[in-house]
């Protein structure tokens, strides 16, 4: 029940509240203890999902200004939207929801209920971007604006000309680090596994895995040489109290975007990400990532949202290429259209 969730951390006040909810009084709720691994590191292991933040705008709608949290009335409206989507998914129909679209001046579209995820809990965040204070992406550099214009022009081609017209995500190659964490319509699972000196982070969609070496006390792990670049970069981690901090550099630039599913503005090879994983309860980790790419953005910016443990959530095989005829069909259809047009002249 919602009252139980709100009582975490307020044991004294909640003894009465919980008694009212369950019709009885008793001992205060048991205080949560931060778990540790067998070798003494904070334990972040498990399967987590960002489903609860699905539907929260990436950038903050202008009407909220610098306000990071919804009011009770706005939260209730978001909850109604979540329930409409959930009911449609349970019934196997296409609900005409679109709360966020309507409030951002966009016509609502049906949600594909057969595979769409929806928020299991409501969150008060007005945007996923928490810094800058207005919740907006910083401006692009002149170089990035030029490259972005080229990217948009390419995306608006009347038909596909080659495999290069497909995104790295569309080709089942990668979504990038941030693109793999941001909540999307399905496949939001993240599995964390720990061993002494290493943390592995495994993503549900496309099945990418990152192996994060941890700094030993007094012995930091240097990054790879600047000549080595990968789609997911070169991560190095360390603990700051109970928070896992992961700094990642050495990215391949110009191929993957910084938004959901690796779409949006493409980052450069100067990208540096600093992620923070802080477990706040038995079922929640607070995730935060700061993006610093001086070739692309005029200032750093930060995204934050919770990832939660859902009972029964498992990561199954994501066979992205199996039976995937999209590229061959798209290109062959484009060539057939060109042939038909040439024949009609």
Give the model confidence (pLDDT) of 280-309 as tens digits.
999 999 999 999 999 999 999 999 999 999
Average pLDDT of the residues in 185-195: 94
pLDDT over 60 at 21, yes or no = no
| DSSP, residue by residue, 295-333 | TTBSS-EEEEEEEEPPTT-------SSTT--HHHHHHHH
pLDDT of amino acid 326: 81
pLDDT over 50 at 67, yes or no = yes
Residues 6 or more apart whose Cβ sits within 8 Å of residue 134: 60, 65, 66
pLDDT of amino acid 122: 72
Average pLDDT of the residues in 12-22: 38
| DSSP, residue by residue, 20-80 | HHHT---SPPPPP---B-TTSSB---EEEE-GGGTTS-SSPPGGGTT--B--HHHHHHHHH
For 149-158, 199-208, 220-229, 261-270, which range has the lowest pLDDT when averaged over its residues? 149-158
pLDDT of amino acid 16: 37
pLDDT over 60 at 345, yes or no = no
Pick the closest to residue 109 from 119, 117, 101 (CA basis): 101
Average pLDDT of the residues in 164-171: 85
Average pLDDT of the residues in 16-38: 62
Peptide bond into 169 cis (omega under 30): no
DSSP label at 139? Answer: P
* pLDDT band, residue 71 (cuts 50/70/90): very high
pLDDT over 50 at 104, yes or no = no
| DSSP, residue by residue, 145-205 | HHHHHHHHHHHT-SS--SGGGS-TTTTTS---HHHHHS--SS--EEEEEEETTEEEEEESS
Chain centre distance of CA 15:
36
Q: How many CA atoms lie within 13 A of 311 on its CB side?
A: 0
User: 157 or 244: whose pLDDT is higher?
Assistant: 244
pLDDT in tens, 205-254: 988 999 999 998 878 889 999 999 999 999 999 999 999 999 999 999 99
Residues 6 or more apart whose Cβ sits within 8 Å of residue 247: 235, 236, 237, 272, 273, 274, 275
For 54-63, 204-213, 312-321, which range has the lowest pLDDT when averaged over its residues? 312-321
pLDDT over 60 at 319, yes or no = yes
Report the C-alpha dihedral over residues 267, 268, 269, 272, rounded to 10 degrees.
-50
* pLDDT band, residue 22 (cuts 50/70/90): very low
For 64-68, 274-278, 323-327, which range has the lowest pLDDT when averaged over its residues? 323-327
User: 123 or 65: whose pLDDT is higher?
Assistant: 65
Question: Apex CA 313: angle with CA 312 and CA 318, to 5°?
Answer: 140
Question: Apex CA 115: angle with CA 109 and CA 117, to 5°?
Answer: 75
d(CA 142, CA 312): 47
> Phi then psi for 144, rounded to 5 degrees?
-70, -35
Pick the closest to residue 295 from 258, 321, 341 (CA basis): 258
Task: Look up tokens 């579209």; give the residue.
Answer: 109
Mean pLDDT (the chain) is 83
d(CA 108, CA 5): 32
* pLDDT band, residue 182 (cuts 50/70/90): very high
Average pLDDT of the residues in 261-282: 96
pLDDT of amino acid 113: 55
d(CA 116, CA 47): 19
pLDDT of amino acid 54: 87
pLDDT of amino acid 164: 81
Q: What percent of the chain has pLDDT over 70?
A: 81
For 65-69, 180-184, 214-218, 322-326, which range has the lowest pLDDT when averaged over its residues? 322-326
Pick the closest to residue 279 from 90, 42, 103 (CA basis): 42
């Amino acid at each position: 029940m919602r009252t139980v969730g709100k009582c975490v951390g307020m044991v004294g006040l909640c003894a009465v509240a919980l008694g009212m909810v369950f019709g009885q009084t008793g001992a205060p709720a048991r205080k949560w203890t931060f778990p540790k691994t067998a070798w003494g590191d904070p334990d972040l292991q498990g399967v987590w999902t960002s489903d609860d933040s699905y539907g929260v705008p990436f950038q903050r709608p202008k009407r909220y200004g610098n306000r990071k949290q919804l009011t009770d009335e706005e939260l209730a409206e978001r909850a109604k939207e979540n329930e409409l989507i959930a009911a449609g998914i349970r019934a196997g129909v296409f609900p005409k929801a679109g709360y966020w679209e309507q409030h951002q001046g966009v016509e609502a579209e049906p949600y594909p209920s057969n595979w769409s995820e929806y928020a299991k809990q409501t969150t008060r965040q007005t945007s996923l971007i928490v810094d800058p204070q207005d919740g907006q992406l910083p401006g692009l550099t002149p170089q990035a604006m030029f490259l972005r214009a080229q990217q948009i022009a390419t995306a608006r081609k009347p038909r596909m000309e080659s495999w290069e017209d497909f995104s790295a995500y569309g080709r089942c190659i990668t979504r990038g680090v941030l693109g793999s964490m941001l909540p999307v319509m399905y496949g939001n699972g993240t599995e964390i596994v720990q061993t002494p000196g290493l943390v592995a982070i495994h993503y549900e969609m496309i099945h990418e895995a990152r192996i994060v070496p941890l700094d030993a006390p007094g012995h930091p792990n240097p990054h790879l040489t600047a000549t080595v670049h990968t789609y997911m970069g070169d991560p190095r981690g360390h603990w700051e109290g109970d928070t896992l901090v992961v700094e990642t550099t050495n990215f391949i630039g110009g191929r993957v975007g910084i938004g959901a599913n690796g779409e949006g503005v493409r980052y450069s090879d100067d990208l540096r990400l600093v992620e923070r994983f802080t477990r706040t309860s038995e079922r929640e980790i607070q995730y935060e990532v700061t993006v610093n790419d001086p070739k692309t953005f005029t200032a750093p910016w930060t995204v934050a949202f919770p990832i939660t443990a859902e009972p029964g959530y498992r990561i199954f095989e994501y066979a992205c290429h199996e039976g995937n005829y999209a590229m061959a069909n798209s290109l062959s259809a484009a060539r057939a259209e060109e042939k038909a047009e040439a024949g009609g002249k």
